[in-house]
Each structure stands twice: as structure tokens, then as C-alpha cells.
Structure 1
Amino acid sequence: MILLDNSIIFTGLPGIQAEMRYTATGLVWVQDAYTLVFGGLLLLGARAGDLLGRRRIFIIGLAVFSAASLLIGLAPSGQWLIGARALQGVGAAVVAPSSLSLLTASFAPGRERTPAVAWYGATAGIGASLGLVIGGALAHWISWRAGFFINVPIGAAMILLAPRFIPASPRTPGRFDGAGAITATLGMGALVFGIISSADAGWLAPRTVLALGAGAVLLAVFVANERRAGQPVMPLRLFASRERSGAYLARMLYMGAMIGFFYFTTQFLQDVLGFNPLQAGMAFLPMTVVNFAGAMAIPRLTARFGNAALLAAGVAVTLAGMVWLSRVAVDSSYMSGVALPMVLLGTGQGLAFAPLTSAGIARVTSADAGAASGLVNTAHQLGSSVGLAVLVTAAAATATGNGTDRAAMAGHVSAALTAGSIMLALCLAASLALVVPAEIAARPAKTPPERKQPWNTPASATQD
């Protein structure tokens, strides 16, 4: 439900912009208000699950998320909409780490947990792609608001069913690291505001410099606080593993590129190719189908090839699709300019998400399961926020003439997706340099094949 809602809004962006009278850079806050709060409070949400019980926090988060969805659907103004999206991010920040940590605690490492995490990771790509199709249909037939109203009955049903199907988890004694959560959220928010502000005011404008400086200071205070805190919201020891550190970095870069793909491609389909919201949503079906097929095959492929090979292949295929898609122009056709690159993007995303998730929680202790799960989701959401801000800035730098002109919009999209291709190239480099070698090194050594014994030598004399 969380990942569906993260993408369901994309096909409604042109309608939202017209109804709420957002500027091009103001529109980005409809998405970033959600992902920033989501990412900034994820670590606190993960800690809350450990201290207060994961099932209880899971239910509370569902209630907040569903109530915020109702407020979004009823939003009478742009400010209301952005505020409700931020509140929805609070609910998501509580639900997401609780769900992954419940899963991690419920399945033993190895044969049980590997396929469970693979299925969990698969929902990321499926939810994102399916959200565009559902959002497009609802925006066309009813309204962009309908995509949020449907969360209310779904959330209510999950709240009623959770006590029946989810086992209660014990509480862990401790306290909250409120200072860490606040400085992390405000620091990332200031950083994103500064990047977006540069698109309108320039990099040397006082508000841009002030926001970026404040973000850097707040994030430095956050790291210093985590070093001193007795029970930090983000234990720095989690970064001692090269595999986990690389997974967090790679996930941020990957999501920065992919959120830009969804954000800009939906606008290209509607503002350049002239698709209505339903057609724009259906246009993502090539990606959705191959994404679903790849995600369903992940447990079997993981058992055969391992996470390292799937991660490298997935990111490389995604990069190829993004480079192809970045060549779109005002005269591009849907089939060759959009649909075929989407097949590569869907295939790569289906392969990459589960290995990234597994690497992010690799070899953590049960005590750090919640924090590691929170960091996986934090990297996902903060990568989306910062990445979208960077890509919007890259698109704005190509402004020529009227911003609503088809040629100008095509130029914005091409520039943004070119920047997204650079992010994916950096993601591939981080994966190959950090995650893949660590994952291969951690594999158990294979038992050498039994050697043929001389006819007169006891077997025990030649065995290793």
C-alpha cells in the first residue's frame, strides 16, 4: 500500500498542478513532502517498533497513514495537500520498518529468510509500476483524489486483521533518540529545499546558500549525536560492513534515478505525446509485466546465481534502459522511444531490488534488525527525495521559452533522464566496488570434490 501510494500520484500530476496552481518547482513538493518525512522519520519508526512492540507500532502507523490519505483526498488547497502528504509520510515511516523487521524476525537466516526477503523486495518494483496503472485509471475515470480514498477501507481492513495474523513481538527496554531523528529530518529537508531553490533562484542566491549550509550543519550535528548517543536511532556500527554501506549508497542512487523516471515520463506521455491519465498509466504496462515476471523469478534466480550477479545485472540493464529513454524528443514515438526502454527498466528493476534489500540487512544481529531495516527504507526514500530534487534542477537548467511548450517539456525530460543515467552509472560503480566483492567473500567455501583414492590407501589418510 505504501509503495503503491508513492507512485499512484504520478499520473495525476498534470491535473494536480492545474487544480492547485503549482509552479513546476512547487509541484515537486507534492512528492518530496512525503518522501522527506518518510525517510527522515524511518529510523525513529524502526526504533519505536523495537521499544513499543512491532505489531502495535505497525497498527498505529496504518491508522495514521489511512487518516492522512483521507485528508489528501479532501484537500481544498495546495498547502493542505502538501501538509497531508507530510503526515502520510509519518504513517509510512512507522509502517515500513515495522513490516520488514517483523519479516526479518519471523524467518531464520538462510533458507527461510532469503525467499521471504526476495518477495518483500519484489513488492517495491511491482508496487511502483502498478501504482501508475491504477492511478491513471482512477484519475481518468474519477479523479486523482480517488487513489487516496481507496487507502481508507484497505487500511481499516489491515488494522482489523493484523492482531489475528501477525504475532506480537517483545518490547526492548530503552529510549528514543529524538535529537537524532529531528536533526536528520531537518537536515535532509534543508538540503532538498536548497537544491530545488537553486532551480528558481540560482546556486548563489542567499536562500539557496543558507538552506544548503543549514542542511550540512544539521547533518553534521546528527552524525555527532549518533556517535555520543547511548541508544542512537542510526547505530554507526551498521556502516562497518562494506556490503551494507554499499547497499545503502547504491539504493539511494538507484532510487534517485528511478523516481525521476516515473516523475518525468508520466509528464512526457501526457504533455508531449498527448496521452490522457488512463493512457499514461497503461503505457507503463510493458514495464509492469516484465517487472512482475522478474520479481516472481527472483527466489529461484537468487538460489542459482546469488545476489551479487543479480544486482550487477539488474543495475546494468536498468542503466541501458535509462540511457535509451533519455534520448526522447518531441517527435519520438511511444513504441521506440518509451515502451522498449521500459522493458529494460522493468527487467533491471525486477532483478535489482531484492539483492539491494538483502545486502542492506546482511549479517545484522537481532538487536540491530530494526535499525538495519529502517536504514534500507531510509536510503530508499531519501534517495528519492534528493534524487528528484537534483533531476528537477537539471531539467530546469534546460528551460527554453514557454515551460508548457511540447518541445521545451521534451527537453526537460531528456535532460532529467540523462542526469538519471549518470546516477545509475554511479550506482553500478558502487555495487561493483562495494557490494558485490563483499557478498562473494561472505559466501561459504565450497567443499572440494572427493579425490579418487589409491586402491591401497585408506580414505581417511587423504581427506582434507
Structure 2
Amino acid sequence: MAGKSVKTALALACIAQFLVLFDMSVITVALPSMQEDLGVGPGVLQWVVNAYTLSFAALLLLGGRLADLYGHRRVFVAGLAVFTAASLVGGVATSPAVLIAARAAQGVGAAVLAPLALTMITTTFPEGAKRTRAMTISTAVSLVGGAAGNLLGGVITEYLTWRSVLLVNVPIGIPVIWFALRALSERTDRSHRARLDLPGAVLATAGLTLLTFGASQTHAHAWTDPAAAVPLLGGVAALAAFVLVEARFAAAPLIPPRLFGLPGIAWGNVAMLLAGASQVPVWYFLTLTMQDVLRYDAAQTGAGFLPHAVLMLAVGLRLTPVLMRHLQAKVVISLGGVLGAIGFWWQSTITPDSDYLTGVLGPAVLISLAGGLIGTPLARTVTSGVTVADAGAASGLMNTTRQFGGALGLAVLITLTTANSTAAPAALADSYGNAFLGIAAVMLALAVIAPVLPALRDAPLDAVPPRAAESTRV
């Protein structure tokens, strides 16, 4: 493939990754402003986050298949068009219902873009050093996207309005759509178009949605109350039907059952679920803590996330690869889980009298170390031993597990909070502290199960032939 086409594919893949992660994180700092402007409570507010996260997670498996069946350019443009249009609708929404619906539509577009970004890299770059280099660049862009969302969200909200955190996607999305139409080549295999597993996608979406909705209802109802129990049981039934369809009836299942014969798939995705259940809620509760307990404004809150962004990026790109050449992946994961548990326990002790150094920065060091240490070895674990034919399914399962873990984790952890946003700062500190203790327990559980994961270790750099190392330039 010509060098220009290679760079085009990588650039568009990186843009897709950036937008998905940016939009997932940028909304958190704006939540208090949305709450005040629209007059909603915590139970409704969490769905501004969950609507995006859940639709994104529930449709990742289907989204990963679309590019193979309908072509890269067509699917990329369609996904970005849905994402951009939904951002416009959400930015001008005047009611919580419209905003939540727009966020769900954004998640649909993101569910197409995220797996397509990985597909574009794996089909453009041959397996080996060049593909590894391209994935490293994509990973860095993803980390920058998440960090930029937290940092810029506060500035945009403080000096413009919370609506701008959604509207900013419009002037980005439109020119990228035009560029993709002109520069991206079409790749499709029309002979497999009939193999789209729509029944599996419908059942998976219904099951994940019902489970998360049921969990969210436990904030106001007991687990045995019909308001919570009925959707929870419905979600379990839908997922059981999904497993049956995938195992017995689907010609090309979204998740081939043979994947679970691999050592890293089953326990690896349990670990990924726990990781997701800690990584999404932390930004939600930390945003509310800085604004409601420490009384920071939106710009100060955004700046407060700077250490998290810098440390997580540095650890993920520099320290973790070095550790993985000397330690097994599961050891690095366990270490991250322990550090994260300590960091979140420390975060739970915050009070209205805490200063930034002890109330935010200190815990941030441990929390960011944990996040940076866990991501790469866990992704390596859940994709180890997967064949090329199943790589997309394994990647889709990994992303689905992580994102659903985030949505379910937020729904469950919010039930641990006992005070509403109008309570005194001291009461809110105790309330949010309960959530941080819950996240600490999740991280500790991750550290405990890590030893059952397969033993994996990266080859040392000096094992790579010099010529292969030189070929990593893309």
C-alpha cells in the first residue's frame, strides 16, 4: 500500500479513537453545570454518562462486524455522521430526555468508530513491528483523548457553557467526514453480508441495558423491589438467550464460543470488567468531590485532573512496557490493583478542609500509577493466543466488557452514596467517600484474581533483530 494511504488510514483511526475517548471523559467535568441548568437529580444525571457508555458497550460487538461487511469508508462516514449529529442535538437540548437520547446516539456512533479504528490498523499494517508501532501511536492518542477531555472540559464549561463540550464535536466531525470520503479506500467482502448476527446483537443490547437499568434503580429501591428486580432478571434472561443463540444458532456469532477455550479470555474478561468498573466511576465521583466538597469551579476541576492525565500517560507508555519485559503481565496487573486500592482508600478520606496536595494530588499519584499499569498487560492477556480470524471478536468482547463494567460499576457505586447534591460539604465528602471505598474494593478484587491469569511476558528489546526494529517507522 502506498505510504500516503497508510498514513491516511492511521490518521483517521487515531481521530476516531480520540473522539470516542474525548467525548467519554469531557462530559464528567460539565455534569454539575448540567445538573443545575436542567434541574435534575443524581439518579437522572448518571444516565447522561451511562446512556453513552451503555449504548457504546452494548453495540461494540455489532459495530466491529459492520466494517467487514459494508466497507471501511462507508461505515466510518456513517458512524462519524451519527456521532456528529447526536453531538449537535445534545448541545442544544433543553430537556434531560433529549440530552440522554442524544448521548445514547453518540454511543451508537462511537460503537462503530472504536472497533473500526483497530480494524483499519490491522488491515493496513502487516503483523509485526510496523503494526505494533501503529498501535502504540493509536494507544497514545487514546490516552491523550481521555486526558484532554478531563482538562478541556473544565475550561470549556467555565468560560463558555456545558453545551459547548458537546458542540465542539461538530466542527471536528464535519471536515473529517469530508476528508474520509475523499481519502479513505473502500474495503468490503460482499459475500459475507448475510452473516450479520442481528439476533445476537439485539439480545446482547437488551441484556446489558436491562442489567444496568436495574442496578441504577437500586439507588431508590431495594434489590428485591420489582422496580429493580424485574429489569435485573430480564437482563439475565436476555444474556442467557444470547449465549444460547451464539452457541447453537448463529452462523457467524458475534462471540465465537471457541474463544473461551483460550486461557486468557474468561478470567481476563472478568478482570477487564473489574477494571472498567473502577476507571469510569472515578472521574464521575472525583468531579463531584472537587466541585461539591472542595468547592472548585469547573476550570479548577479540569486543572485538577492534570496530574492524573500526565502520570497515567507516562506510566502507560514508559514504565509499563519496561515492567512487562521483566515481570509477568499478571504480576503487573496485581501490583496495579494493590496500588489502586490504596489510592482510592486515601481518596475516600477527603474532607472540606483538605488541601489539593493531600486531598487530590496524593491519591492521584497512586490512582494514576494503577491505571497506567493495568491497561496494557490486561489488553495483552485477553488477546493472547487469538487467531487472526477471531481477533475482531476478541477485541469487541474486550471493549464490551470494559465499557459495560464502567456503566454497571457506576450504577452500583452510586447506590453507596447517601447524600444529595444540596447537602453540606461534610456530608457529601462522607457520601462520595463511600463510593471511593467501593472502588478500592473493586481494585483489591482485581489484584486477588490476577494470579489465575496466564503467565505472559514480553520479549526483551534486544531480542528484536535490528532490521525489524528499523522497520517500525511508519
After superposition, give the CA deviation of every residue in 1:4-32 in whole Å (9 maximum; x if it has no partner).
11011111111111111211111111111
In structure 2, the residue corresponding to 1:387 is in which secondary structure? helix
5 Å matches for 1:109-128? 109-128=127-146
- Which residue, 98, 102, 111 being the options, matches 1:84? 102
Give the match for residue 40 of structure 2. 22
Write out aligned runs for 1:235-246 (5 A): 235-246=256-267
Structure 2 equivalent of residue 183 of structure 1: 203
Q: What's the offset of the Cα at 1:313?
A: 3.6
The whole-number CA distance in structure 2 between the counterparts of 1:170 and 1:315 is 41
Match of 1:356 among 378, 382, 386: 378
The corresponding residue for 1:12 is 30
Task: Please give the alpha-carbon distance, in whole angstroms, between the structure 1 residues aligned to 2:56 and 2:451.
Answer: 29
From 394, 399, 408, the equivalent of 1:372 is 394
- Which of 270, 279, 285 is residue 249 of structure 1 equivalent to? 270
Cα pair distance change 1:320/1:167, threshold 3 Å: farther
1:299 to 1:334, Cα distance in 2 relative to 1, 3 A? closer
CA distance in 2, matches of 1:149, 1:77: 16
Secondary structure at 1:134 match in 2: helix
Please list every run of 5 or more consecutive structure 1 residues that lacks an aligned counterpart in the other structure: 448-464
Aligned length: 440
Cα shift at 1:112: 3.4
Matched, 1:284 2:302: no
Measured after TM superposition, the shift of residue 193 of structure 1 is 1.2
The structure 2 residue matched to 1:258, chosen from 279, 300, 325, is 279
| Alignment partner of 1:408 is 2:454 | no
Residue by residue, what CA displacement relative to the aligned partner does 1:367-413 show, whole Å, maximum 9, x if unpaired? 22222221222122111100101110122xx34x8853212211121
What secondary structure is seen at the aligned counterpart in 1 of 2:220?
helix
Q: Unpaired segments of 5 or more residues in structure 2?
A: 1-18, 464-474
One-letter code of the match for 1:104? T
| C-alpha contact 1:62 1:95 (8 A) present in aligned 2 | yes
Aligned to 1:57: 75
- RMSD of the TM alignment (CA)? 2.4
Measure the CA separation in 2 of the matches of 1:409 and 1:105: 49
Counterparts of 1:137 and 1:146 in 2: how far apart (Å)?
10
2:308 and 2:364 in contact (8 A); partners too? yes
Describe the superposition over 1:213-244 as per-residue Cα deviations: whole angstroms up to 9, x where unpaired.
11111111111111121111222222221213
* Aligned AA (1:373): S
Q: Which whole-Å CA distance do the structure 1 matches of 2:437 and 2:208 have between them? A: 24
1:402–1:89 CA distance, 2 compared to 1 (3 A)? closer
1:30 corresponds to which letter in structure 2? V
The alignment's TM-score, normalised by the length of structure 1, stands at 0.88
Whether 2:350 is the aligned partner of 1:331: answer no
Q: Please list, as runs of the form range in 1=range in 2, the aligned pairs for 1:63-462 lying within 5 A after superposition.
A: 63-162=81-180, 166-171=184-189, 173=192, 174-228=194-248, 229-297=250-318, 301=322, 304-305=325-326, 308=329, 309-395=331-417, 398-399=418-419, 403-434=422-453, 437-440=454-457
Cα offset for 1:307?
6.7
Corresponding position of 2:13? none
Aligned to 1:450: none
| Structure-2 change in CA distance of 1:223 and 1:390 (3 Å) | same
Tell me which amino acid in the other structure corresponds to 2:131. R
Deviation, 1:98, is 0.7
The share of aligned pairs that are identical, in percent, is 38
Q: For the Cα contact (< 8 Å) 1:114–1:299, is it kept in 2?
A: no
Distance 1:116 1:96, change over 3 A: same
Correspondence for 1:455 = none
Give the alignment's TM-score, normalised by structure 2.
0.87
CA distance in 2, matches of 1:252, 1:183: 19
